[in-house]
Amino acid sequence: MTTTKKLKVATTSLAGCFGCHMSFLDIDERLFTLLEHIEFDRSPLTDIKTVSPDCDIGIIEGGLCNAENVHVLRDFRKNCKILIAIGACAINGGLPAQRNHLSLPTILEEVYHTSPGLSNGLIPNDPELPLPLNQVHPIHEVVEVDYFIPGCPPSGDAIWKVLTDLLAGRKPELGHGLMHYD
Amino acid sequence: MNQHFMLDGRSIPFEEGQTILQAAEHAGVFIPHLCYHPEFKPHGSCKLCTVKVNGRHTASCTMRAVAGMSVESDTEEINAERRALTQMLFVEGNHFCPSCEKSGNCQLQATAYHLGMMSPHFDHFFPNRPVDASHPDVLLDFNRCILCSLCVRASRDVDGKNVFALSGRGIGTHLIVNAKSGRLADTDFALSDKAAQVCPVGVILKKRQGFAVPIGERRYDKAPLGEPVDTTEGR
């Protein structure tokens, strides 16, 4: 890892659980080594809200379950030279996609109207709320994705391997033990 | 065993009547496969075991070995084709490994790891396939079926029961249960059946033991696919 200028890395969680971000933090003290080579741009770790137009690496956790997710994803793709899908949800929709065989009205009806314990439930329709998509989609179905780190979540070691491979100019590869879909 | 053919530049001995896949396994050379099982007649449908024989594609589980033939298997080109087939299997069903009891013991998943499948690449179908939990001892989760037909063959050829069948054609092909109601509970299927042991993926699952062995300590967590695989794996 002999980069002179620090690479800008942006991260976000779309329809995810932030588990992949937690796993990212599991690289532990290697985070200090990483910070010698990168700086964080938009990320839950910095609380910066917009992606810089000259980002080097964008890391996307989670799939697409609503219109805002799509907007954020396209913004990342536009501004990041390399886009990485991290975790099962970004790669195949994951847990949120388990709703895909049900119609959206059926789900909203059950969640807000007919589930036990609800009284006078209303389906939220504030214009501030992003509209849900009919189905949850993995991100490669909407934008081009350069690299994938599978796992639910991928281990800190797997994330470290991919990032260090990229920083060293190698094609990222996960061997046995780091390659997991579960 | 005095006849030989060449597999990726290596001389493989074979006996008359052996297929390329059988001879390769006997010689300790792994060729990826999903619908092939050493105890059953080859089905030749998953095409994962495709090799090039004298420059032409063929399924190595059905092609008999012939002396002097030249076979390519572990090449970048063929593995890319195998990877694409595996990706198609993933997007055609609902393969959510994190919530699957079979994860870590799954031959489809291990094959995908073996082939370096980093993403499903294609658009997902997200089909609607209800599960059948009617049987007291066995759960059927059709979401993960890859149509290998091993349960069909095991039930018909070993158990003599004919519990399963593949119905429909082409992309509409699907696994069915041979009962008027379509429910497993209304067949004579039993946990002791061979058909209950052969599923390479997470369709036919024994109830009440799902996570007895934790994820991370399972068969393919410990060692990658790459040796002849016994799909009756000990869970």
Does residue A5 surpass a pLDDT of 90? no
Tokens representing A27?
């690289």
Provide the residue type at B185 as one letter. Answer: A
Segment A35-39 mean pLDDT: 95
* Per-residue confidence band for A119, with pLDDT thresholds at 50, 70 and 90: confident
Segment B31-44 mean pLDDT: 95
* Per-residue confidence band for B227, with pLDDT thresholds at 50, 70 and 90: low
- Predicted confidence at residue A122, as pLDDT, reads 87
How far lies B60's CA from each of B43, B132, B154, B164, B172, in Å?
11, 34, 21, 26, 26
Q: Do B120 and A145 touch (CB under 8 A)?
A: no
Q: Does B210 touch chain A (CB under 8 A)?
A: no
Give the distance from residue B154's alpha carbon to the nearest chain A alpha carbon, in angstroms.
29
Segment A165-178 mean pLDDT: 93
Does residue B232 surpass a pLDDT of 50? no
Q: How far is the C-alpha of A150 from the C-alpha of A23, rounded, in Å?
A: 12
Q: Does B214 touch chain A (CB under 8 A)?
A: no
Does residue B235 surpass a pLDDT of 80? no
Q: Which helix (H) or strand (E) holds A64?
A: strand A64-66
Q: Does B124 touch chain A (CB under 8 A)?
A: yes
DSSP assignment, residue A48? B
- Predicted confidence at residue A1, as pLDDT, reads 52
Does residue B221 surpass a pLDDT of 60? yes
- Predicted confidence at residue B234, as pLDDT, reads 40
Segment B19-34 mean pLDDT: 96
In terms of DSSP bridges, do strands A147-149 and A80-86 run parallel, antiparallel, or are they unpaired?
parallel
Does residue A4 surpass a pLDDT of 80? no
Q: Do B119 and A173 touch (CB under 8 A)?
A: no
Tokens representing B143?
């979401």
Q: How far is the C-alpha of A27 from the C-alpha of B189, rounded, in Å?
A: 49
- Predicted confidence at residue A117, as pLDDT, reads 86
pLDDT digits (tens, 9 = 90+) for B112-160: 999 999 999 999 999 999 999 999 999 999 999 999 999 999 999 999 9
Does residue A42 surpass a pLDDT of 60? yes
Name the residue facing A176 among B100, B126, B224 (closest C-beta): B224
Residues pairing with B205 in the sheet: B139
Task: Name the nearest CA neighbour of B122 among B160, B86, B98, B168.
Answer: B86
pLDDT digits (tens, 9 = 90+) for B58-82: 999 999 999 999 999 999 999 999 9
Does residue B231 surpass a pLDDT of 90? no
pLDDT digits (tens, 9 = 90+) for B91-113: 999 999 999 999 999 999 999 99
Q: How far is the C-alpha of A172 from the C-alpha of A85, rounded, in Å?
A: 13
Q: How far is the C-alpha of B71 from the C-alpha of B57, rounded, in Å?
A: 10
Residues pairing with B164 in the sheet: B177
- Collapsing DSSP states into helix, strand and coil, what is residue A134? strand
Name the residue facing B119 among A94, A135, A140 (closest C-beta): A140
Residues ≥6 apart with Cβ < 8 Å to A42: A10, A11, A12, A48, A49, A50, A51, A52, A55
